[in-house]
Chain A
Amino acid sequence: MREVMTKTMARNVFYGGSLFFIVVFLILSAHSVRYVVTQSTAHAELTDSVARGKHVWEKHACINCHTLMGEGAYFAPELQNVMARWGVDDDPETAFEIMKAWMESQPTGIEGRRQMPQFNLSDDELRDLTDFFIWVNGIDAQGWPPNEAG
């Protein structure tokens, strides 16, 4: 191998090749950003309420129990399609009612059942969170998840 490739050659291949792949990756990234904005998330306007709902989702660290689009902890159900699972993805008012009832009943305290904390969300926060999930439900994710179970 020593005759085939010297250390200097190996180093140059490493630097040159890496630079090439970084450039390709950045070009594809730029295209992907455009695709997200103009196609996969163009289904509905990203309202202030959706943005605020994302913040509600974040400040309570929901991702550390649930998954969202398959990413997160695997302790609690997938939530990208939760609105579809509840059958309310086109009915924000009912979605809000169910969400409110659900969040208020936590934690159930049932023995041997995984517990969700009580987050004491205000009605405004609940509405924002609901809007966020309805918006997320509409993202075109190449057909994932495979079914309603998420």
Chain B
Amino acid sequence: MKYQTQKIAYWYFLAAMILFAVQVTGGLIAGWIYVSPNFLSELLPFNIVRMLHTNSLIVWLLLGFFGAAYFLVPEEAEREIYSPKLAYLQLIILLLGTAGVVVTYVFNLFEGNWLLGKEGREFIEQPVWVKLGILVAALIFLFNITMTVLQGRKTAITNVLLLGLWGLSLLWLFAFYNPANLALDKMFWWYIVHLWVEGTWELVMASILAYLLLKLTGVDREIIEKWLYIIVATALFSGILGTGHHYYWIGLPGYWQWIGSVFSSLEVIPFFAMMSFSFVMVWKGKRDHPNKAALLWALGAATVAFFGAGVWGFLHTLHGVNYYTHGTQITAAHGHLAFYGAYVAVNLAIFTYAFPILTNRDPYNQVLNMVSFWLMTGGMAFMTFVLTFAGTVQTHMQRVLGENFMDIQEGLNLFYLMRWGSGLCVVVGAILFIYAQLAPRKEIIASGTTESEGA
């Protein structure tokens, strides 16, 4: 650890991993309710479980991004974080908000209260007071990181990272705007949801990936940073108007069908570029970095993001296809692999890279970590396949033949059972991953013996 304040990242990553465990546990319960619908139906209904599953995912990914910024900005800017106190204050606000959200959801407190009760728009169900807390935390973060960067060296990696984080924080303001007109509500809701995951978050992902490749491969900074700009350019050029693929069927003008189809098809490009770029950099790089697990996660993130966000996104993005598949299990299949590949894996990559440095030790437990990669990735891939099959059957029966939703769902039981099994693999993988990070054990892969590892 070159700069003392990088240590802040340790606490962010730790908090993120705890929420990661909460998230996958929520997923496991939700998946089981699909298999056995009476499970917990009075105590913890499906909608509450799903809110915990999605909200904890979003919060831990954001905690990971913030932590990544606190970790890599000092090295990039070549100076300590402006104010470590503010950074810890930000973390405390976020954790208090998270605890408040969990208690509010589970015990259904203050229902309908404008300030304290949950708000019921998908993914942004947090009570207003928590939303304000997130806003304050984001402002503290932006101030702190921007001051650090302004006083230090400015690199393309910090430029892009900051742009992404500023962008996502500004877009968060739309969480406070909820028009009574449902079509307008949905239109601006996508300003957050789409422009986060298919816009600003891609900038964060690309810059973290660029940083990791810079460290792991030893390729010249000039080359990496040029490609970083090219990749994020393709991400925003396609992603901004790509928002149109959510505007087909919510009461907006018909021209979105063409704009959305064309530009969201192009959204495959940045993900393909990230994948190719990562592999080319690793081949070009001369460095034999001892942290093989971090390299595996970095390459894995780029690859699975291409399949999950790119290929599975394209699968149902053309409006002629989407007319039939919109809001079926196809969407669920895409959502799971895209989030896992693009954002979960890139977070786990930076955790894997940073943890040995933050705790001042060698990269322990690499084999265990790599096993967790294959368990989680295999599980998510299988889950995506079975949900895609389920979605295909559902689309045909419901959207083409017009049969009743509930009757079709009962016929999909086998798929949901297999989905639960693959989810169990992911949970086991997640637990192994967390254990591999936290438990100190001597088990190091020596340099030079890695040819046969296939990592």
Contact = CB atoms under 8 A, between A and B. Distances in A.
Interface string A110-124: 011111010000000
Interface string A11-27: 10110011001101100
B402 A147 contact: yes
Given A36-B251, A69-B250, A148-B402, A63 B327 contact: no
Interface in A112-140: 112-115, 117, 135-136, 139-140
Interface residues of B, number: 75
B399 A59 contact: no
A13 B222 CA distance: 17
A25 B51 CA distance: 30
A59 B111 contact: yes
Interface stretch (B183-191, B346-354, B374-382, B420-428): B183-191
Contacts of B48: 61, 64
A63 to B, nearest CB: 5
Contact of B398 (A13, A59, A71, A149): A149
Interface in B391-421: 398-400, 402-406, 409
Contacts, number: 216
Interface of A: 1-2, 5-7, 10-11, 13-14, 17-18, 21-22, 24-25, 28-29, 31-33, 35-37, 40-41, 46, 50-51, 54-55, 57-65, 67-78, 107, 109, 111-115, 117, 135-136, 139-150
Cβ-closest 7 pairs across A and B: A58-B120, A70-B327, A64-B47, A144-B249, A10-B229, A115-B41, A51-B180
30 contacts: A1-B226, A7-B222, A13-B230, A17-B233, A17-B236, A25-B240, A29-B187, A31-B253, A32-B247, A32-B252, A35-B253, A36-B252, A41-B183, A46-B180, A58-B120, A59-B118, A59-B120, A64-B46, A64-B51, A65-B47, A65-B50, A69-B249, A69-B250, A73-B50, A74-B327, A74-B332, A77-B406, A78-B405, A114-B37, A149-B404
